[in-house]
Structure 1
Amino acid sequence: MNALSQTTAHIDRTTLWTVIILLGLGSFGLRFMFTGLVGNRAMPEWVLRHLRYTSVAVLPGLIASAVFFPTATGGVPDPARLIAAATTIAIGVTTRNVLWAIVGGAGSLYLALYLLG
């Protein structure tokens, strides 16, 4: 037996497919509420104002775990990712251009990984 098969928990196929189908239906239901039920109606101004901040609220939560607890280093923060995050923020704030921030952050990550080993 290899190490992977020893640590993997076995799940009943019926349970697995039940969970997959229920999660798919739940995901479809949430999307349908906005596109199917509300999609052709005008939303109130206060809802639109709050929806503008969705990406600003979600993206840092997604990125923070990759910067501060990267799986590549076993969950230990490393200088290369911290440098890349700081560079990305600096370029984004300075230029107000998402593409330049992404390119600059990716470039600084690869450069820092190369230089720091």
Structure 2
Amino acid sequence: MNGTEMTFDRSTLWIVIVGLAIGSYALRFAFIGLVGNKAMPDWLMRHLRYTAVAIIPALVAPLVVWPAPTDGEPSLIHFAAAALTFAVAVFSKNVLLAMITGACSLWSLMYLFG
């Protein structure tokens, strides 16, 4: 072995798969099955509105700061596309337009300078 290979026996693999499946089901059931038909308090609903606003930047920021195509080195192309996307999102208040702008600007900048 060269240090990067990992081997698992079949029983360990299936125990992990079944354990993750049970955990995933239990987490979803807790919200959908147990709480799904009950009214949520207003304070909780107010906080849940901001879930996507918090999650999406957390998913995108590492891809901008440490992009995979450059092996984690900061890239001006990625920063420029992110800045343009952010500007379109702020001024237009349209998520779909911002996403399309981000994708097109990234592809365009990579084609021109990449």
**TM-score, normalised relative to structure 2:** 0.93
1:14 aligns with 2:14: no
Q: 2:41 aligns to what?
A: 44
1:33-77 per-residue CA deviation (whole Å, 9 max, x = no partner) reads 111111111011111111111111111111111111111111112
Partners of 1:49 and 1:22 in 2: how far apart? 33
2:96 aligns to what?
99
1:110 deviation in Å? 0.7
Q: How many equivalent residue pairs?
A: 113
RMSD: 1.2
CA displacement at 1:93 relative to structure 2: 0.4
Could you tell me which residue of structure 1 aligns to residue 109 of structure 2?
A: 112
- What residue ranges of structure 2 are gaps of 5+ in the alignment? none
CA offset at residue 114 of structure 1? Answer: 1.1
CA distance in structure 2 between the partners assigned to 1:25 and 1:13 by the alignment: 18
The correspondence for 2:83, drawn from 79, 83, 86, is 86
Q: Distance in 2 between matches of 1:67 and 1:90?
A: 15
Please list every run of 5 or more consecutive structure 1 residues that lacks an aligned counterpart in the other structure.
none
Query: CA-to-partner distance for each residue in 1:1-32, whole Å, 9 max, x for gaps?
Result: xxxx8432111221111111111111111111
| 1:32 corresponding residue in structure 2 | 29
Overall identity of the aligned pairs, in % = 50
TM superposition score normalised by structure 1: 0.91
Displaced runs of 4 or more, over 2 A = none
